[in-house]
């Protein structure tokens, strides 16, 4: 073990502890059980060596948002982790993602459902799918290029997933728009999730909350938090 590696491990350990304290406090405030939440540590842009350190520190779930970066890391890290894919996904890359992802959080159109299904069948793997919902300020109008399905499209999309071999409908996901209070956005996601569960009782996942807004997500009933910067550190701006 190099000194650099030891220093990085210590930094990650401290950051994880700080985030766990925040989650614990948010759970207490909301009267929720920490055991009902999954922390997905978002490792995008950081090296596979960080993912390996996180696994040693007890992390079980990691998230990535780009292919092929995600697949390369999944191949590099031997530790048994659950890999969550949460990025914009082209249909022609979906088959490749189905080979290593355990959960895809960013499904927002039926073409993608079909491609992931074909990929999962070809790879002989089961894939959990979350439907990404666009809850931007004008979410009742067709979204112009933003990621996520309109709330009105959710039930058709859910049917498409439920009727596709090797895909399992896990629930819903959103990214709260910047510069707005995330609380009503997460409340709205939770109510969409509740409606979805009346037709698909197994779709219990609510993926919401990131480094900046995890407390609001816990309070609104999120089951999955996707936390990157608060654990790995600030990322350089996307080039």
Ligand X SMILES: *Cc1c(COP(=O)(O)O)cnc(C)c1O
227 touches ligand X (CB under 6 A): yes
Q: In the stretch 95-134, what mask flags binding to ligand X with x, by CB under 6 A?
A: ----------------------------------------
Mask for 12-51, x = binds ligand X (CB under 6 A)? ------------------------------x-x-------
d(CA 59, CA 79): 10
Return the H-helix or E-strand segment holding 29.
Answer: helix 3-30
Separation of alpha carbons 20 and 93, rounded Å: 34
Residue of 46, 35, 172, 40 whose CA lies nearest to 102: 40
Q: Does 154 bind ligand X (CB under 6 A)?
A: no
> Scanning the structure block, which residue is given the tokens 């039926």?
110
Nearer to ligand X, 6 or 212 (CB): 212
Residue 211 as a binder of ligand X (CB under 6 A): the answer is yes
Angstrom distance (rounded) from CA 51 to CA 209: 20
Asked whether 164 and 114 are in contact (CB, 8 A), the reply is yes
- Interacting residue with ligand X among 86, 176, 190, 216 (CB under 6 A): 86
Does residue 59 interact with ligand X by CB under 6 A? no
**Least distance in angstroms from the C-beta of 230 to ligand X:** 6
- The window from 50-58, 113-121, 182-190, 204-212 that contacts ligand X (CB under 6 A) reads 204-212
Please report how the helices 154-162 and 182-199 are oriented relative to each other, as an axis angle in degrees rounded to 10: 50
Contact indicator for 22, 215 with CB cutoff of 8 Å: yes
Nearer to ligand X by Cβ, of 25 and 122: the residue is 25
Q: Does 226 bind ligand X (CB under 6 A)?
A: yes
With CB atoms as reference, the residue minimizing the distance to ligand X is 228
Binding residue (CB under 6 A) for ligand X from 62, 70, 175, 217? 175
In the bound complex, what is the minimum distance in angstroms from residue 106's beta carbon to ligand X? Answer: 7
- Extended beta strands in the chain, E state: 38-42, 61-64, 82-85, 103-107, 127-132, 167-173, 205-207, 224-227
Interacting residues with ligand X (CB under 6 A): 42, 44, 65, 86, 175, 210-212, 226-230
């Amino acid at each position: 073990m190099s000194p650099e590696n030891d220093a990085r491990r210590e930094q990650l350990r401290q950051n994880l502890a700080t985030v766990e304290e925040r989650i614990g406090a948010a759970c207490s405030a909301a009267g929720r059980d920490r055991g009902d939440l999954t922390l997905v540590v978002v490792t995008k842009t950081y090296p596979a060596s960080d993912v390996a350190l996180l696994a040693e520190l007890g992390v079980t779930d990691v998230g990535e948002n780009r292919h092929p970066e995600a697949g390369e890391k999944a191949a590099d890290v031997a530790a048994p982790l659950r890999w969550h894919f949460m990025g914009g996904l082209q249909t022609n890359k979906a088959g490749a993602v189905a080979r290593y992802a355990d959960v895809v959080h960013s499904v927002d159109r039926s073409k993608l459902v079909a491609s992931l299904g074909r990929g999962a069948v070809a790879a002989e793997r089961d894939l959990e799918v979350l439907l990404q919902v666009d809850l931007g300020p004008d979410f009742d109008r067709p979204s112009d290029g933003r990621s996520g399905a309109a709330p009105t499209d959710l039930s058709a999309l859910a049917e498409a997933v439920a009727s596709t071999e090797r895909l399992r409908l896990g629930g819903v996901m959103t990214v709260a728009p910047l510069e707005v209070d995330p609380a009503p956005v997460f409340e709205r996601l939770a109510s969409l999730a509740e409606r979805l569960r009346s037709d698909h009782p197994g779709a219990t996942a609510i993926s919401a909350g990131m480094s900046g807004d995890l407390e609001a997500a816990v309070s609104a009933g999120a089951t999955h938090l996707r936390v990157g910067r608060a654990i790995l550190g600030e990322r350089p701006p996307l080039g």
